[in-house]
Amino acid sequence: MFLHNSYYHFYYLAQALRRRGWDAITVSLEDPHGPHALYYHGEDINLYSRNVDQFRYNIRAFYAHARKRFNLLHFAGDGQMSFFPENWSSEEPDDILEWRKSGRKIAYTIGGCNSGVAQSSVTQWSRTDGGKSVCDKCPWQHEPSVCNDAKNLAWGRRVEKYCDVIFTEASPALDYQAGTRAVREPTTMCLDPSFWRPGLPVPRRFRILRKNGELLVYNAFGNMDLRARHGRNIKGTGAVRAAIERLQAEGVPVRLVFVTGMKNTEVRFLQAQCDVIVDQLNYGRYGATAREGMMLGKPTVCYINRNEPGSEHALACMSELPLVSATEHTIYEVLRDLLLDPAKQAAIGQASRAYALKWHSADACAERYERLYDNLMNGRIGSYPTEWGGVYSLRPGASEPSRPMVIGV
């Protein structure tokens, strides 16, 4: 069972596992109309209730049910290692101790660069020749309640203590994201390749009116009010805007399509109409916007830092990555080169779709997940074979079972 939301990833991974014959469901404790609902695509069971007593009853009833039904708890959300919100701050959550004592397993998918990784480690890894690091662009750099070495590493120790597998999804091998329990190649951050697909039909209300020959560049920033403050913008939005304005001044017929605060289920219609997708220009690894852009078959720009602490940490997925790397300082040149070369756009877009199908399609991820699960249940967690990156078909005869039951609201 997948507990808490990891954007829409768990939702599609559970569906793909069910297609392989699994009993797999997603469970949320969040208000379905809450502030993060824009980024979710749904869940199988939602235990939330505005009535506190009913909410607690829902969780208790489901936990008792889950102990009988599931062998693996896989959760997301830093600091949320428990079924019960009142246990989230506990170093020894009763339900997790009970779950492990009964022989059941626990897995975790990271939430970001500070998930068990010291800020100082990220600073050192990401520092450029000019001495700047991604942390210098982040509003959380000087907000210890969100990110600091002691806090981040304390969470990493807790995860290491209780979790059998840690899915780090191609992040650099730093601190607790580099341990023997870390699965670093993409496995859980998956997409439905039919939901994001080339040639996606666009409903009339989302159609962009564009002039003849006009080029469109897409850029987005979720939770921008929180994540772009004090003159800091980790996405590099200002540099993208400046590059577009410079190109316009040179006579290039280009327009920026910038999105924030829009449902993730809808932004794909805007992405599908754009010629180039821009993810982020500072961190060094790719995120949801890049995965979506690649799955749509779009040439996608994103700053990529392939550096690892050692050659033994090199990732197969990073060696095959078709993203066009750019920083805030090079985004103008990169966009100009791409926008004025339709053949290059098409070639990169085609390679991007193939990459996304291999590394991020729900069925490919479910196949890798199943192999890891089988190893885990047999007491074997080791290296992650690179040949697991392919696109796989269902087991013969596998079908999706009926929809799981819903416990109270």
Whether the pLDDT of residue 341 is over 90: the answer is yes
Whether the pLDDT of residue 246 is over 60: the answer is yes
Which comes out higher in pLDDT, residue 67 or 390? 67
Whether the pLDDT of residue 392 is over 70: the answer is no
Whether the pLDDT of residue 408 is over 80: the answer is no
The pLDDT, as a whole number, for residue 65 is 97
The pLDDT, as a whole number, for residue 230 is 63
Q: Span 355-366, mean pLDDT?
A: 98
Q: Are strands 300-301 and 276-278 parallel, antiparallel or unpaired?
A: parallel
The pLDDT, as a whole number, for residue 400 is 34
The pLDDT, as a whole number, for residue 405 is 33
Q: Span 340-348, mean pLDDT?
A: 98
pLDDT digits over 203-217, tens only? 999 999 999 999 999
Who contacts 309 (Cβ-Cβ below 8 Å, separation ≥6)?
125, 172, 173, 174, 178
The pLDDT, as a whole number, for residue 402 is 34
Name residue, tokens 């039919």. Answer: 194
pLDDT digits over 148-182, tens only? 999 999 999 999 999 999 999 999 999 999 999 99
Which comes out higher in pLDDT, residue 218 or 131? 218
Burial class (CB in 10 A: 0-12, 13-18, 19+), 298: buried
Domain boundaries, the chain: 2-190+361-389, 204-360
Whether the pLDDT of residue 26 is over 60: the answer is yes
Who contacts 373 (Cβ-Cβ below 8 Å, separation ≥6)?
72
Cβ(177)–Cβ(115) under 8 Å?
Answer: yes
Q: Span 22-38, mean pLDDT?
A: 95
CATH code for the structural domain at 204-360: 3.40.50.2000
The pLDDT, as a whole number, for residue 409 is 29
Q: Span 97-120, mean pLDDT?
A: 97
Whether the pLDDT of residue 294 is over 80: the answer is yes
Who contacts 242 (Cβ-Cβ below 8 Å, separation ≥6)?
332
Which comes out higher in pLDDT, residue 394 or 223? 223
Mean pLDDT of the chain: 91
Q: Identity (one letter) of the amino acid at 304?
A: I
CATH code for the structural domain at 2-190+361-389: 3.40.50
pLDDT digits over 72-90, tens only? 999 999 999 999 999 999 9
Whether the pLDDT of residue 387 is over 80: the answer is no
